[in-house]
Amino acid sequence: MQNTDYRIAVIEDDPIQLENLVTALEQQGFMVDSFDNRQSAEESFAAGLPNLVISDIILGSEVDGGFDLAKHLLGYNQPIPIIFLSERQSEFDIYTGHTLGAIDYLPKPISLNMLIVKVKNLLRITGNTNTSNADEETSKIPNLALVQDQFKAYWFEKPLDLTATEFEMLKQFAVAGESSVVSYDALQASTQGVVERNTINTHICRIRNAFKKITPEFNSIHNEYGRGYSWQKDV
């Protein structure tokens, strides 16, 4: 996938910041749809979904407009990755953003160079489906199936509600098999640097919750303190 095939929706109520974001992305060859409010963005999504959403949290008079936008996107059948940009940097806000499917939560004022790098890293994950061979796509964990080209995982034949980033992290457990430790570095590397080390736990919590929606007693992903995580067979 080339940058010109990759459509990004940017939602920002500050006109200067919106212009800067759009210009920086278009200079890299991305197709960009820009919006200064949540409602117009959601109307556009009804006609066609973007590959990525970049959104502020506070949109006009809506203090949680970006979060509400993310909730709206959860209603679609396909996961749409979101990068939040915000001056709000409390642990609660960052946690909320990730629980709503964000792959990243970046502080304002935003570094445009950092944002471009993260967008390109995400493109390498979601846009290149030919980098994994058949062995990498085979799950060694019973009842867990992977469909690499769709970035979908199935637990007891039911689809797991995961972002593309979380799918890549889960795949590390599926390939390693039961009782094998997946290091923090391996989990971060699996996302091409999209996930920061300090947000890995948040994504693991989301992955666990996805399993619990299907099997509420799920307790297979264990924290191996100082090392990473492992998949342990339920006893």
Read off the pLDDT of each residue in 22-34 and give the average, rounded to a whole number: 93
Torsion sign (Cα): 138, 134, 4, 187: positive
pTM of the full structure: 0.61
Among 21-30, 33-42, 89-98, 128-137, the minimum mean pLDDT is found in 128-137
Strands 158-159 and 221-224: unpaired
* Domains, the chain: 3-127 (3.40.50.2300), 134-231 (1.10.10.10)
Q: What is the DSSP letter of 235?
A: -
- The C-alpha angle 115, 123, 155, rounded to 5 degrees, equals 115
Confidence of residue 188 (pLDDT cuts 50, 70, 90): confident
Q: What is the pLDDT of residues 118-147, one digit of tens each?
A: 888 877 776 543 333 333 457 999 999 998
132-163 burial code (b ≥16 CB/10 A, e <16)? eeeeeeebebeebbbebeebbbebeeeebbbb
